[in-house]
Structure 1
Amino acid sequence: MGMTMTQKILAAHAGLESVEAGQLIDAKLDLVLGNDVTTPVAITEFNKIGCGTVFDRTKIAIVPDHFTPNKDIKAAEQAKIVREFARQHDIENYFEVGCMGIEHALLPEKGLVIAGDVVIGADSHTCTYGALGAFSTGVGSTDMAAGMASGTAWFKVPSAIKFVLKNKLSGWASGKDVILHIIGMIGVDGALYQSMEFTGEGVSSIDMDGRFTIANMAIEAGAKNGIFPVDEQTLAYIKEHSARTPKIYEADPDAVYERVIEIDLAKIEPTIAFPHLPSNTKTIGEAKGLKIDQVVIGSCTNGRIEDLRIAAKILKGRKVSRDVRCIIFPATQKIYLQAVREGLAEVFVEAGVAFSTPTCGPCLGGHMGILAKGERALATTNRNFVGRMGHPESEVYLSNPAVAAASAVTGVITDPAELLA
């Protein structure tokens, strides 16, 4: 029986010739990730194990990004615990405020994840790295602790859904719209503990930023991971960011899939997820005109340089509506600096945007953009659950950066094609 791409990676890391869906395995890890929220819990569990030191100080990454820069005393105490642990164990890939970024944008940028890796992270959006042809998935803090101690993790091998992407995106549609369209189609549990494997000639038309966005939100369909084939774009990205040699795995021709779903990219429109689930989607034509109070552009989903360029293209020479607060968060310090050098930061500030340091803050309702009762936000983030950005009676709508920027100008959800007509 043939194996999927994910199954081949897991088999190799488990030292097995083959694996099949449902099989329990113990696999070697190439990287273990934690942040300022999940790592303190993992540290407590790690200390209980009593092994003395981490399995490999070069294969652990700790990124304080959720409540940093510290929003209050509790956040500062958590960051202190993480900082002291990183120093004690000489963690090579510890990224403090000033050189940090949002973890799932920072790790690929630093070349810490490449094709063929197995990565666990105590954060659900660790599945982002599937864009590079890696198996990556979120785990709990206890599993993170065990991973730091042993360099291994156990998995139940997932079955898979094959998404065949055809043609290419057009207009203002992006990778964000592809994944919102898919989640709207299959539901938030439509890929429960399965691998979402993206294939087809349409893959080549989606840039790496778009692929990161799609893989990032695989978890919003309940998936164990999302993964893309390794092509020339992938290899070019890896070569630019890492000195390591990628390991390329391809699905067998006779690999078994639970379902095969074809997606015609040419038919994808800008898509909005309405409260309170990412699956509650409507096209821009159905959504436009809804009044909003806040726009957030950024996060591990859409805070990369191409996202900022798109926002700047729409905001240049325009002003944010007086009725809207617009906040833009570059995903890393490198992206922030690039935005400054390209003149994007100037465009944002002149338009009336709050242009901020990298942080996860507003995405999870942590700080820097909290919503009051009855307020609506349109965000390029990945979740819009009840109370996600603040008050439980506030509302979060999800969109791509172009729609978000256009809506910031008008004060209502807006089709960017109409604003620029």
Structure 2
Amino acid sequence: MGMTMTQKILAAHAGLDHVEPGQLIEAKLDLVLGNDITSPVAINEFEKCGADSVFDKSRIALVLDHFTPNKDIKAAEQCRQVRQFASKYDIDNFFDVGRVGIEHALLPEQGIVVPGDCVIGADSHTCTYGALGAFSTGVGSTDMAAGMIAGKTWFKVPSAIRVTLRGKLPEFVSGKDVILHLIGEIGVDGALYQSLEFAGDGVKSLSMDDRLCIANMAIEAGAKNGIFPVDEVTLAYGKNRFRREAVVYEADPDAVYDREVVIELDKLRPTVSFPHLPENTRTIDEVGEVKIDQAVIGSCTNGRMEDLRMAASILKGRKVADGVRCIIIPGTQQIYLDAIREGLAETFILAGAIFSMPTCGPCLGGHMGVLGKGERAVSTTNRNFVGRMGHIESEIYLASPAVAAASAVTGYLTDPAKLN
């Protein structure tokens, strides 16, 4: 019986010739990741067990991105603890204010994750790096601590769902619409502890930014990970970027999948996820009249250059509607700088939007855009659970940067094509 991409990566990191779904293995890790919320818990566990060294200071990444610049005293103390740990153990990949970015935008940009890697992170959206052909998944802070000490962890080998992509995306439709469509089709538990393995001729038409967005939200379907094949797009992205040599794994022709889901990309429409679950999707033609108070464009899902360029193309020469707050957040310092150089920042400001430094803030109701009672936001973030962005009686509508920007202009959920 053949193996999927994920199974091959896990087998290689476990030193085995073959693994099967459900098998328990111990695998070596190429990277262990934590942020300012999850790392302090991991550090406490690290110290509690008496550890006095990390397995490899170059294979740990600590990113202060959620509540930074510090929003309150508690956040400041958490970040201080991580800074002290990073200094004590001379962690190579430590990212603080001034050189920080949203972790899942920053690590690919910096070439820290490469194809073929096995990565764990104390953040559920660590599955983002599957876009690069790596196995990456979220874990708890205790597992993060153990990973920093031992450089390995245990996994139950997941079975897989093959997601076959065909055709090419039409105008104003992006990777966000692909993943929202998929979640709407299979549900938030439709891939529970399974690998979503993307394949088909449509993959080559997707940019790396599209793939990163899609892999990022694999967890919203309950998946252990999402993963894309390594192709010309991947290798072009990694040229002069990847810090280590890529290892390319391909699914065997006789790999076994629990099911196949086929998506015709050219038939997709802009898609919106209504409160309070990502699976509650409707196409833009089905949304009706939904008035919004806030639009957020950014996050580890949609804070990359293609996202900002799309938003700018819609906002240019237009104004954010009265009564609407439009918050735009670049994923990294480099993206922030590129947006300034390309004139996107000026476009956003002239349109009446706020252009922030990189932060996760509003995505989890942390800061920089918390919602009040009864308020509605259209957001390019990845979750719309009750109270996710603020008050438990607020509402979040997940959408692409194109839909979010168009909605900011009209004040209602809007098809971006109707603004042209």
Following the alignment from structure 2 to structure 1, what is the Cα–Cα distance between the partners of residues 180 and 416?
A: 18
Could you list the runs of 5+ residues in structure 2 that have no partner in the other structure?
Answer: none
2:196 aligned counterpart, secondary structure: strand
Following the alignment from structure 1 to structure 2, what is the Cα–Cα distance between the partners of residues 247 and 92?
A: 22
- 1:174 aligned onto 2:182: no
- 1:323 aligned onto 2:323: yes
Following the alignment from structure 1 to structure 2, what is the Cα–Cα distance between the partners of residues 110 and 288?
A: 41
Equivalent residue number for residue 245 of structure 2: 245
- 1:224 aligned onto 2:224: yes
Equivalent residue number for residue 123 of structure 1: 123
Aligned identity (percent) is 73
Equivalent residue number for residue 106 of structure 1: 106
- 1:163 aligned onto 2:140: no
Following the alignment from structure 1 to structure 2, what is the Cα–Cα distance between the partners of residues 91 and 243?
A: 16
Following the alignment from structure 1 to structure 2, what is the Cα–Cα distance between the partners of residues 239 and 29?
A: 23
What is the TM-score of this pair, normalised by structure 2? Answer: 0.99
Q: Name the aligned partner's letter for residue 108 of structure 1.
A: P
Residue 60 of structure 2 contacts residue 148 of structure 2 at CA under 8 Å; is this kept in 1?
Answer: yes
Residue 64 of structure 1 contacts residue 97 of structure 1 at CA under 8 Å; is this kept in 2?
Answer: yes
Equivalent residue number for residue 417 of structure 1: 417
Q: Post-superposition shift, 1:51? A: 2.5
Residue 102 of structure 1 contacts residue 299 of structure 1 at CA under 8 Å; is this kept in 2?
Answer: yes
Following the alignment from structure 1 to structure 2, what is the Cα–Cα distance between the partners of residues 410 and 217?
A: 27
Residue 32 of structure 1 contacts residue 59 of structure 1 at CA under 8 Å; is this kept in 2?
Answer: yes
Q: Name the aligned partner's letter for residue 178 of structure 1.
A: V
Residue 320 of structure 1 contacts residue 409 of structure 1 at CA under 8 Å; is this kept in 2?
Answer: yes
Q: Name the aligned partner's letter for residue 109 of structure 2.
A: E
Give deviations 1:61-104, integer Å, cap 9, x for gaps.
00010111100000000000000000000001000101000000
Q: Post-superposition shift, 1:141? A: 0.1
Residue 303 of structure 1 contacts residue 330 of structure 1 at CA under 8 Å; is this kept in 2?
Answer: yes
Equivalent residue number for residue 27 of structure 1: 27
Could you list the runs of 5+ residues in structure 1 that have no partner in the other structure?
Answer: none
2:10 aligned counterpart, secondary structure: helix
Equivalent residue number for residue 291 of structure 1: 291
Following the alignment from structure 1 to structure 2, what is the Cα–Cα distance between the partners of residues 119 and 201?
A: 27
Equivalent residue number for residue 234 of structure 1: 234
Give deviations 1:326-360, integer Å, cap 9, x for gaps.
00000000000000000000000000011000000
Equivalent residue number for residue 265 of structure 1: 265
Equivalent residue number for residue 398 of structure 2: 398
Following the alignment from structure 1 to structure 2, what is the Cα–Cα distance between the partners of residues 324 and 243?
A: 42
Following the alignment from structure 1 to structure 2, what is the Cα–Cα distance between the partners of residues 408 and 79?
A: 34
Q: Name the aligned partner's letter for residue 341 of structure 1.
A: R
Q: Name the aligned partner's letter for residue 297 of structure 2.
A: I
Q: Post-superposition shift, 1:240? A: 3.5
Equivalent residue number for residue 2 of structure 1: 2
Q: Name the aligned partner's letter for residue 412 of structure 1.
A: Y
- 1:362 aligned onto 2:376: no
Give deviations 1:154-173, integer Å, cap 9, x for gaps.
00000000011011110211
1:197 aligned counterpart, secondary structure: strand
What is the TM-score of this pair, normalised by structure 1? Answer: 0.99
Residue 288 of structure 1 contacts residue 414 of structure 1 at CA under 8 Å; is this kept in 2?
Answer: no
Following the alignment from structure 1 to structure 2, what is the Cα–Cα distance between the partners of residues 358 and 240?
A: 24
Q: Post-superposition shift, 1:49? A: 2.3
Q: Post-superposition shift, 1:244? A: 1.7
- 1:65 aligned onto 2:65: yes
Equivalent residue number for residue 377 of structure 1: 377
Q: Post-superposition shift, 1:243? A: 3.6
Following the alignment from structure 2 to structure 1, what is the Cα–Cα distance between the partners of residues 104 and 266?
A: 28
Residue 41 of structure 1 contacts residue 141 of structure 1 at CA under 8 Å; is this kept in 2?
Answer: yes
1:363 aligned counterpart, secondary structure: helix
Residue 158 of structure 1 contacts residue 194 of structure 1 at CA under 8 Å; is this kept in 2?
Answer: yes
Q: Post-superposition shift, 1:393? A: 0.2
Q: Name the aligned partner's letter for residue 218 of structure 1.
A: A
Task: Quote the RMSD (CA, aligned, Å).
Answer: 0.6
Equivalent residue number for residue 39 of structure 1: 39
Residue 288 of structure 1 contacts residue 415 of structure 1 at CA under 8 Å; is this kept in 2?
Answer: no
Residue 215 of structure 1 contacts residue 227 of structure 1 at CA under 8 Å; is this kept in 2?
Answer: yes
Aligned residue-pair number: 420
More displaced 10-residue stretch of structure 1: 397-406 or 43-52: 43-52
- 1:184 aligned onto 2:187: no
2:239 aligned counterpart, secondary structure: helix
Equivalent residue number for residue 80 of structure 1: 80
Q: Post-superposition shift, 1:305? A: 0.4
2:81 aligned counterpart, secondary structure: helix
Residue 212 of structure 2 contacts residue 301 of structure 2 at CA under 8 Å; is this kept in 1?
Answer: yes
- 1:12 aligned onto 2:15: no
Q: Name the aligned partner's letter for residue 19 of structure 1.
A: V
Equivalent residue number for residue 54 of structure 1: 54
1:168 aligned counterpart, secondary structure: coil
Equivalent residue number for residue 148 of structure 2: 148
Q: Post-superposition shift, 1:227? A: 0.1
Q: After the TM superposition, list the runs of 4 or more consecutive aligned residues in structure 1 that deviate by more than 3 angstroms.
A: none
Following the alignment from structure 2 to structure 1, what is the Cα–Cα distance between the partners of residues 239 and 218?
A: 25
